[in-house]
Copies of this chain bind each other. A is one copy, B any other.
């Protein structure tokens, strides 16, 4: 059909990570961060994430423990929800929730003049057990999380703060990094629902690693 030699699909991921390692050359990533940074690069083909991704102390170890204990993951988009590997999550009894498309969330947001992301985070704050937030889109989600944390209403095991964009995004990321909770943040403008899902998947795939 064509003369191009394609790599067999089952070998693509392995070969991709080899290429990423190759392009990183001698640059040494910290071992607990390495699978996360590489998976984000794999998802975006963007090596900026080598420098962009900021990890709070011990965040990876703590996040893996939370996943093992069956934490609930809350996303701020259905795209991020879709991108998380459900089988890998189910293996640890991890539930994934997104309230963004719920009609009553839209109604309440409209009545109160808030964003759906804000109302979604309030809903999420009522979930029992350990919480992990994967925020790839809405700065207002991060701002609301900062408030809920400051008010002592939640104490999340991890906030992934990787909204993408040009307005409020940088500020909201800086704010959540000041909240004294474990975080993985893509500093600057870049990020996205795909990046949020990639970080969760990298954690899930490496839960058993130390």
Are B115 and A168 touching (Cβ within 8 A)?
no
| Across-interface contacts of A16 in B (CB, < 8 A) | 165-167
> Does A77 belong to the interface (CB within 8 Å)?
yes
Q: Is there a chain B Cβ closer than 8 Å to A120's Cβ? A: no
Does residue A69 face the partner (Cβ distance < 8 Å to B)?
no
B143 touches A6 (CB 8 A): yes
Q: How many copies altogether?
A: 2
Contact segment of A24-32, A41-49, A56-64, A126-134: A41-49
Alpha-carbon gap, A120 to B168, bound state (A) = 39
Q: Is the interface of A mostly helix, strand, loop or mixed?
A: helix
CB-based contact A1/B147 at 8 Å: yes
Is A35 engaged at the interface, CB distance under 8 Å to the other chain?
no
Chain B residues, Cβ within 8 Å of A147: 1
Residues of B within 8 A of A15 (CB): 166-167
| A189 at interface by CB-CB < 8 Å | yes
**Could you tell me if B193 and A83 are in contact, using CB atoms closer than 8 angstroms?**
yes
Whether, in the assembled complex, A206 has its beta carbon less than 8 Å from a beta carbon of chain B, the answer is no
Q: Which 7 A-B pairs have the closest CB atoms?
A: A45-B189, A16-B166, A78-B82, A19-B166, A79-B82, A12-B167, A4-B171
Excluding A2-B146, A12-B168, A16-B166, 19 further A-B contacts by CB distance (< 8 Å) are: A1-B147, A4-B175, A6-B172, A7-B167, A9-B115, A12-B165, A12-B167, A16-B167, A19-B166, A19-B167, A42-B165, A43-B164, A43-B192, A44-B164, A44-B190, A45-B188, A77-B82, A77-B83, A81-B82
- A-B pairs with beta carbons under 8 Å apart, 17 shown: A1-B146, A1-B150, A2-B146, A4-B174, A6-B143, A6-B172, A11-B167, A12-B139, A16-B167, A20-B166, A42-B166, A43-B164, A45-B165, A45-B169, A45-B188, A79-B193, A192-B194
